[in-house]
Structure 1
Amino acid sequence: MIQPWIHKAKTDSFFILLPSFLVVAIVFLFQKQLQLIEEQYSFYTWLILVVFIDVAHVYATLFKTYFVKTEFQKRKKLLIGLPILCFLMGLVLFSLGSAVFWSALAYIAVFHFIRQQYGFMRLYARNESKKWVWIDNAIIYTATIYPMLFWFLSPSRKFNWFVENEFYMFENPLLLKIFGWVYLFILLIYITRTVYQSLKKNTFNIPKNAIIVGTILSWYFGIVYFNTDLVFTLLNVVSHGIPYIALIYLNEIEKKSKTELGFLYQFKQYKGIIIFIMVLLLIAFSEEYLWELLIWNEQFSGTNLHLQNWHFIIIPLLTVPQFTHYLLDGFIWKSKS
């Protein structure tokens, strides 16, 4: 069969499919070294993983929306109104307490992360018959939802999404066991169906199955199998952020002509890739520095401005980019079919 690559086999494989497998391999091969890094080099892990990948991927959305004149004109009301709505929602949530605010944002973030994996899977299954689509949907949601249920039902996790106690925890070994068996059963259905279809039709959708297997590995080992903050962050952030940044660049810049791109044509080719990445890193670092300066005061010394009384407006304002990103993705990647 002709493989349904988004761009090309090499670029898709390296930037979209490989990250999950590569990080899982690194975690298994360098466990002791990662423990040392977590204990002694927390600033660099924060800078590389949180700022340069996680936050940067949020701003990659700009290259599909606000920086694209035709796209902005087409979705003008949405692109202007949604950030305002996110800010107002943030104000309301924070007025109910910071715990409510971070909890709501964490659940929305989890939903966004789950839907991204679903979205990639559907992109790579776009040419397949819809007859057995429910199996693909079941496995991708199982691969992501089961680890989260494990987290909710196992309050012994040593990591968090944003802040401590953001999720409702309910320790229940029986439910955990039942969900575990359901998880294995659905995995077995997926494996059986994939092998059967491959043998019967002599076809195998490489990128779709790579996304599914990569999702299974990164979510299971990041949340269930291992129980460290760095491993969770590695598997969570790298598997999510790098493919998204790659998708934006390959689909929204590399694929388009000079006429379609307008001023964004400057970001094309090898020099353009570097500029593209540098723009994302600069914006991401600027945002995170504001978080450090105004809120966290963890990574840089002497940055505490003692603005606790203004957190009710500063925090909702600073979360507008990521909050908007979480919701906006539900609109900009909708299939036209």
Structure 2
Amino acid sequence: MPQPWIRSPRYDGLLILAPPFLALLVVLGLPASYRHSAAMPLLAWVALVVLIDVAHVYGTLFQTYFDPVRRRQRCTLLWVVPMACYAAGVALHSLGGLVFWRALAYLAVFHFIRQQYGFLRIYSRHDAPAPGRWLATALIYYATIYPLLYWHFSPGRNFNWFVEGDFIQIDWPLGRTIATVLYGGLITAYAARESWRWWRTRTFNVPRNLLLGGTLVSWYVGIVLFNGDLVFTLLNVVSHGIPYLALVWAGGPKPSQATPAPRRGAWAGRYGLAVFIGAVVLFAFLEEGLWDGLVWREHGAVFGWFQHLPTIASPAQLMWLVPLLALPQSTHYVLDGFIWRRQK
């Protein structure tokens, strides 16, 4: 059967489907001390958090504000979303810093889950209607929801999403058991359905099944199997950020075929890839520098110049500043719910 690639087997395979498996290989090679601890080497933090996690957020710019056609088509949306996100952020932070971070963490989780579902829709777009097709959707959602349930039903972990305490956690062993049984049952049902389909039709959707396998691996190993900040960040960030940037660069699939959409704007020329990567990395460095200089003061060795900025500690000032610094993330989470929608 023809496979529903976004760009090509090599492109999709290396940049969209392989990252969780490659991250797993790195995890398996880590010293045992990093698999169940909060230790995070500085270079790993820079590579994962700054150069991938924060940088991928700015990929949205190339599908919105930096694209002259989409900028005209979605003018109202591109103005309203950041203003609404900032107003909501200030309102939430006025109720307490943890309230703000908790709301942002759950919004981020929703965005991460929906990205996996979005890729599933892309890679399932050529599948003919057949009994049990819903199992793929159920599994891609539960492959992410189950580890989150396990996290919520566990005592304190050695990692968090943004800040300590941003997830609500209750130590409930029975809840973990029930969630695990459902997880195993859903995987078994999906595997049986795919085996039956292969036996009847000799068809196998390679990218869809690699996507599901990578999602299962990255979320289960990073959250359930191990309890280490480096492991969680490595699997979570690499599996999410690199495929997103690859999708942005490819332009996404057209509604009816795998040919990528044309690129427009400054990144469409000869040096487009250098502009693209350079811009997202520069924006990420500047953002994290402002965070470190004004709020966190944790990585002065990386953001030396930013240490000359005044540290903001006043709750009244933080109420206005923190939602502003987080605006690229919150806008990215919301806009991504609109910019990839297609009629089919």
Question: Which residue in the other structure is 2:334 paired with?
Answer: 327
Whichever residue aligns with residue 312 of structure 2, its letter is L
Task: Report whether the alignment pairs 1:89 with 2:88.
Answer: yes
Normalising by structure 2, we get a TM-score of 0.91
Residue 119 in structure 1 maps to residue 118 in structure 2:
yes
Equivalent pair of 1:63/1:252 in contact (CA under 8 Å): no
Quote how far apart the aligned CAs of 1:34 are: 5.1
d(CA) in 2 for partners of 1:37, 1:220: 17
Cα deviation, residue 26, structure 1: 1.6
Partner Cα separation in structure 2 for residue 153 and residue 36 of structure 1: 18
Match of 1:305 in 2: 310
The alpha-carbon deviation at position 210 of structure 1 amounts to 0.3
The one-character-per-residue Cα deviations of 1:95-129 (angstroms, maximum 9, x if unpaired) are 01001000010011111101101111110001112
Residue of structure 2 equivalent to 1:165: 165
Aligned in 2, Cα 1:262/1:285: closer, same or farther, shift over 3 Å?
A: closer
Superposed CA deviations along residues 276-323 of structure 1, whole A, max 9, x for unmatched, are 211110111011101001111000167262311111111010111100
SS in 2 for 1:110: helix
Which amino acid in the other structure matches residue 339 of structure 2? I
* 5+ residue gaps, structure 1: none
- Judge conservation of contact 2:267–2:276 (CA < 8 Å) in 1: no
Alpha carbons of 1:201 and 1:122: their partners in 2 closer, same or farther (altered >3 Å)? same
Give the aligned partner of residue 187 of structure 1: 187
Percent identical across equivalent pairs?
Answer: 45
Q: Does the C-alpha gap of structure 1 residues 193 and 252 become closer, same or farther in structure 2, counting only changes over 3 Å?
A: closer
Aligned-partner Cα distance in 2 for 1:19–1:242: 7
Q: Is the CA contact (8 Å cut-off) linking 2:38 and 2:158 kept in structure 1?
A: no
Name stretches of at least 5 consecutive residues in structure 2 with no aligned partner: 254-258
Structure 1 residue aligned with 2:325: 318
CA contact (8 A) 1:56 1:284 kept: yes
Paired residues of 2:34 and 2:228 also in contact (CA < 8 A): no
Moved more, 122-131 or 236-245: 122-131
For 1:205 and 1:95, how far apart are their aligned partners in 2? Answer: 49
In structure 2, which of residues 266, 274, 279 is the aligned counterpart of residue 263 of structure 1?
266
Counterpart CA distance in 2 for 1:16 and 1:50 is 18
* Aligned-pair CA distance for 1:134: 1.4
1:79, CA displacement in angstroms? 0.5
2:167 alignment partner, SS class: coil
| Counterpart-to-counterpart distance in 2, 1:135 and 1:76 | 38
Give the letter for the 1:26 counterpart.
Answer: V
Q: Deviations over 1:242-275 (max 9, x none)?
A: 0000110012699455xx6243322x5xx43233
Partner of 2:97: 98
In structure 2, the residue corresponding to 1:299 is in which secondary structure?
A: coil
More helix by share: 1
Mark the CA change 1:165 to 1:136 in structure 2 (over 3 Å): closer, same or farther.
same
Following superposition, the deviation at residue 130 of structure 1 comes to 3.9
Deviation at 1:45, TM superposition (A): 1.5
How many residues align? The count is 331
Query: In structure 2, what is the equivalent of residue 31 of structure 1?
Result: 31
Provide, for residues 36-61 of structure 1, a one-character-per-residue CA deviation record: whole Å limited to 9, x for no partner: 9974x722112110010001110001
Whether contact under 8 Å (1:56, 1:281) holds in the other structure is yes
User: Cα distance 1:153–1:256, how it changes in 2: closer, same or farther (>3 A)?
Assistant: closer
**Equivalent runs, 1:209-228 vs 2, <5 Å:** 209-228=209-228
Secondary structure of 1:261's counterpart equals coil
* Aligned partner letter, 2:267: L
Q: Secondary structure at the match of 1:7?
A: coil
Q: Aligned-pair RMSD on alpha carbons? A: 2.0
Structure 1 residue 193: deviation in Å?
0.6
Which region of structure 1 is more displaced relative to structure 2, 310-319 or 214-223?
310-319
What amino acid maps onto 1:81 in structure 2?
A: V
Aligned residues of 1:17 and 1:214 also touching (Cα < 8 A): yes
In structure 2, the CA distance between the partners of 1:154 and 1:297, relative to structure 1 (3 Å rule), is same
Alpha-carbon offset, residue 334 of structure 1? 1.4
Q: Given the two structures, how large is their TM-score scaled by the length of structure 1?
A: 0.93
Q: Using the alignment, how far apart are the partners of 1:38 and 1:186 within structure 2?
A: 32
User: Do the aligned residues in 1 keep the contact of 2:16 with 2:242 (CA within 8 Å)?
Assistant: yes
1:108 matched to which residue of 2?
107
SS, match of residue 170 in structure 1: coil
The match for 2:47 is 48
- Mapped to 2, the partners of 1:273 and 1:34 lie a distance apart of 34
